[in-house]
Structure 1
Amino acid sequence: MTYCVGVKLEEGLILASDSRTHAGVDNYAKFCKMTVFERAGDRVLVLLSSGGLAGTQAVINVLRQRAAGESPHLWSVGSMFDVANLVSDAMRDIERRDAPYLESGGLKFNASFILGGQIAGEDMRLFRIYAEGNFIEAGTDTSFLQTGEAKYGKPILDLGVSSNATLDDATKCVLVSFDSTMLSNLSVGMPIDLLCYARDSLQVSMQRRFEHGDAYFETLKQQWIAGTRRVFHELPPLQW
């Protein structure tokens, strides 16, 4: 399993993903689920992947191969909507190729993505692309999108993230949502890959990986716990 989050704010975008494959015997096998396509001054495209690792890696590799060939491809299209369609096309091509063999083993093609970024000449955009290839886009009323093991971190994002939140504050909420998810589900785990993108910068300047035991992450977690306890302590007692 996995957990991926994309947030669209007035200030910019936040994209984060965990690195665990599943909670089985090889749960120490780590794979980065964040892929960045960047051409400074022109475009920043970030993909977060969830689902079967073989399927998601195949889709990423198809996109890379096609980017070196004839247009349209990731470097040639003029809108994020076009990029979302390119990702969908690659997903469907891989599914058509692999589905019969997967089904013979009782499996299904399972790959989904969060796509965020900006191309020069248009605003930032954020999409959630489903395994079937269709997708939805984040807006003012829906400022974040999740994929994978989403339910444990969603309440924190619901409470703390809105489109007018600062990048710094929203990033802290995203990290706390990862902590909540990892506490509740062993299939999500460190390291966490985090990227923050400033609106109209058209380059990646804020990217970080949080390994197990990271000092900042541990401090944030403890401060969140202490703050919650303090609020409860300061509330008047229940009246019985």
Structure 2
Amino acid sequence: MTYCLAIKVREGLVAIADTRITSGTDTTVKKKLYVDQKEKHSIFIMTSGLRSVRDKAIIYFRELVEEGAEFNKLYKAVNAFGQQVRRVSEEDKVPLEKAGFKFNLTTIIGGQLKDDEEHKLFLLYAEGNWVELDQGSPFVIIGNSGPGKPILNRTLNDQSSMREALKGGFLSFDSTRMSTNDVDFPIDVVLYNKDSFAITEYRYEKKDLEHITAQWADELKAALHRIPEDWMEPAFEKLNATKDCQEKIDL
């Protein structure tokens, strides 16, 4: 499984991708994040799905760019990547399905190209169609998305700072990591400031953030203890009454 998260706030973009690859009982570390950076051209691509499909689509897209393809808006690059995914589907879908594998690739593409009025974030499906993330949905997760969503829903909006986005994003990843054994460190982080045309990448190992994980666990326990308990009294009074009644019957 995979955990890839991208967050769009007014200040810029924040993205996090885990690196764990699980195949049967074997686990390896492989990068799930591809960055293409040049003048007035900043784009990152993260994927969830079959590794072979991902690698082939990325290679085809990179070759397209190296051969001179240029895009002035990010949605055009997204269309081009979608075409490469369809190309891989035409080549590999049938033999993969005959072998018992589902053709599967979900992609997050973010960045800003020279004629984009702002930074953009897109979710691309295996069929090659896409949706753009807007103010009503400031983040998207692909892969193992369930455990990490609640904290983001409660804490982030498009007015959040990039620092808040990274902090919340890491805690979202950590919640997912604690809930499953196929998402883990290292994690790759991408930061992009609006209109900068300069993507920054950074990798965090487990040892770098263990103290944050421990602090978060302690603060969650402390918050649980601080929650008032008066609202529970009617339920426990009913429980005790039922218990007393059962004891009398037993006598």
Does the pair score TM above 0.5?
yes
Answer yes or no: is 1:229 the counterpart of 2:229: no
**Uncovered stretches (5+) of structure 1, i.e. residues with no partner:** none
**Are the equivalent residues in 2 in contact too, given 1:23–1:187 (CA < 8 A)?**
no
Q: Which runs of 5+ in 2 are unaligned?
A: 234-251
Question: What does 1:150-189 correspond to in 2, within 5 Å?
Answer: 150-189=145-184
SS in 2 for 1:106: coil
Partner residue, 1:66: 64
* Counterparts of 2:139 and 2:18, CA distance in 1: 17
Pairs aligned (count) = 231
- Aligned residue identity for 2:205: E
Select 1:118's aligned residue among 96, 106, 112. Answer: 112
Task: Give me the whole-angstrom Cα distance separating, in 2, the residues matched to 1:228 and 1:107.
Answer: 40
Structure 2 partner of 1:107: 101
Structure 1 equivalent of residue 47 of structure 2 = 49
Determine the C-alpha separation between the residues in 1 that align with 2:23 and 2:163. Answer: 31
Opposite residue 65 of structure 2, the aligned amino acid is A
Larger radius of gyration: 2
Secondary structure in 2 matching 1:21: strand
Residue 188 of structure 2 is aligned with which of 170, 184, 193? 193
Q: 1:102 touches 1:109 (CA, 8 Å); kept in 2? A: yes
Higher helix fraction (1 or 2)? 2
Contact 1:3 1:149 in 2 (8 A): yes
* Alignment-derived partner of residue 7 in structure 1: 7
- Is 1:91 matched up with 2:85? yes
> Is residue 18–residue 193 contact of structure 1 (8 Å, CA) maintained in 2?
yes
Deviation sequence 1:146-165 (CA, Å, 0-9, x none): 11111110111111111000
CA distance in 2, matches of 1:52, 1:238: 50
> Which secondary structure does the structure 2 equivalent of 1:97 belong to?
helix
Q: TM-score, normalised by structure 1?
A: 0.92
Q: Does 1:82 align with 2:76?
A: yes
TM-score of the pair, normalised by structure 2 = 0.88
| Percent identity of equivalent pairs | 30
For residue 14 of structure 1, report the CA deviation from its aligned partner.
Answer: 0.6
SS in 1 for 2:29: coil
CA distance in 2, matches of 1:166, 1:191: 24
Q: Which residue of 2 aligns with 1:128?
A: 123
